[in-house]
Amino acid sequence: MSSTYEHLTHDQPSEPPSDSLTLPFDLRQKSRFLTKLDSGKEIALILPRGRVLRGGDRVRRPDGVVFEIRAADEPCSTVRASDPSQLLRVAYHLGNRHMPLQVGDGFVRYLRDHVLDDMVRGLGAQVVHELAPFEPEGGAYGGHAHGHAHD
């Protein structure tokens, strides 16, 4: 199918989804790829460039069928701190390395990387490895992106 699918953010009204598509963050950034819906049906997803699919967003196929995007659990490193200044230091140093970073209430999360884990521990923070949906910030100039703290 060569028609472009319509990207609907989680807050746009649409028909109830008839299926879902669970994807890791790296695929949710791509605009064209072959994949399978959670039901097993194969699709060629073609989206407008420059969009990031977020968990809870919906996609409308050219024939009007809507499916919901789900953020896949991925190997992540999560840093929690009761001291906000420690968490800010960690976020600053991770951001200084231009790493995609999810910011939530009392935590920051990044895709697991042992070098970054060592750096964070060197800053005196605890790192917890977990499987979790990864929803990094969209960036100051992202325009279409929006962050979620699904924790």
| pLDDT number for residue 65 | 86
Report residue 136 as tokens. 């990094």
Residue 138 lies in a domain: no
Residue 12 lies in a domain: yes
Same domain (yes/no): 40, 23 = yes
Q: How many domains does the chain have?
A: 2
Report residue 28 as tokens. 């949710």
pLDDT in tens, 124-138: 999 999 999 999 998
Same domain (yes/no): 87, 63 = no
Residue 146 lies in a domain: no
pLDDT tens series, the chain, 151 aa: 456 888 887 777 777 899 999 999 999 999 999 999 999 999 999 998 888 999 999 999 888 889 999 999 999 999 998 789 999 999 999 999 988 999 999 999 999 999 999 999 999 999 999 999 999 998 654 544 444 444 3
Same domain (yes/no): 101, 77 = yes
Task: Judge whether 77 and 116 are in contact, CB under 8 Å.
Answer: yes
| pLDDT number for residue 140 | 54
In CATH, what number is assigned to the domain containing residue 24? 2.60.260.20
Q: What residues make up the domain containing 109? A: 73-133
| pLDDT number for residue 143 | 42
Same domain (yes/no): 62, 116 = no
Please state, in angstroms and rounded to a whole number, the distance separating the CA atoms of residues 6 and 117: 38
Reported for 90-98, long-range contacts at CB under 8 A and 24+ positions apart, including other chains, are 90/120, 90/123, 90/125, 93/119, 93/120, 93/123, 94/120
Buried b (16+ CB within 10 A) or exposed e, 11-40: eeebeebebebbbebeebeebeeeeebeee
In CATH, what number is assigned to the domain containing residue 112? 3.30.70.790
Task: Judge whether 59 and 70 are in contact, CB under 8 Å.
Answer: no
| pLDDT number for residue 50 | 84
| pLDDT number for residue 40 | 96
Decide which of 55, 71, 87 is a domain's last residue: 71
Report residue 10 as tokens. 């989680």
Task: Judge whether 78 and 132 are in contact, CB under 8 Å.
Answer: yes
Same domain (yes/no): 78, 128 = yes
Strand, helix or coil for residue 119: helix
